[in-house]
Amino acid sequence: MERTKALEIVKKQLTEHRFIHTLGVEETSLALAEKYGVDPKKAETAAIFHDYAKFRPKEEMRDIVRSEGLSQELLYYGNEVLHAPVGAFLVEKEVGITDRDVLSAIYYHTTGQGAMTELEKVIFLADYIEPNRQFPGVENVREMAENDLDQACLMAVKNTITFLMKQNQKIYPLTFEAYNGLLQEIKLKNKKECTG
């Protein structure tokens, strides 16, 4: 889909503030895609549509989870985790995007997952570090993103888990799987570098 058309579709779904965030995620995802050898068109599309369902009514999202075969576990972890998987579903259904890589990057951009693809990592990280984000620890993750995609994603996941624990919030199981998966990838990569 052509970028201008995609942005036109998305802008109708978002507040002005969230649209500015989306442009920041797009810009950041393209920079990360270039740096880490990820398909830039897929990164652009996933970034533009990553928050497509962000402002859908909560009950509509919950109904979609119930009726469309999405993980029922989503219903037990607060509304913040709903917009990503529901967004992937709606982007396919309403917009007609069928690229599984793009839809998967949208689906996991909030929670991550155990064995993340490079595109999923790029969108997950771009959403976390885009230039409009300002919170403790984000600069460290931005710096790490310049050198190591996996380490930057791991830092973002650690920060997220720590933040949720401090808030006494439940943590979605896939976020723990993302932590474990990234840790394992980094260990394997380090082992190969040592023996290679």
Domain boundaries, the chain: 3-195
Confidence at 147, pLDDT banded by 50, 70, 90: very high
Residue pLDDT, tens place only, 41-87: 999 999 999 999 999 999 999 999 999 999 999 999 988 899 999 99
- Determine the Cα–Cα distance for residues 85 and 89; give it in Å rounded to an integer: 6
Residue pLDDT, tens place only, 30-42: 999 999 999 999 9
Q: Are 68 and 27 in contact, with CB atoms under 8 Å apart?
A: no
Confidence at 196, pLDDT banded by 50, 70, 90: low
CATH entry, 3-195, from 1.10.132.20, 1.10.3210.10, 3.40.50.12780, 3.90.1150.10:
1.10.3210.10
3-state secondary structure 132-179: CCCCCCHHHHHHHHCCCHHHHHHHHHHHHHHHHHHCCCCCCHHHHHHH
pLDDT at 194 over 90: no
Residue pLDDT, tens place only, 12-24: 999 999 999 999 9
Retrieve residue 28's tokens. 């950041």
Retrieve residue 193's tokens. 């570098």
pLDDT at 174 over 90: yes
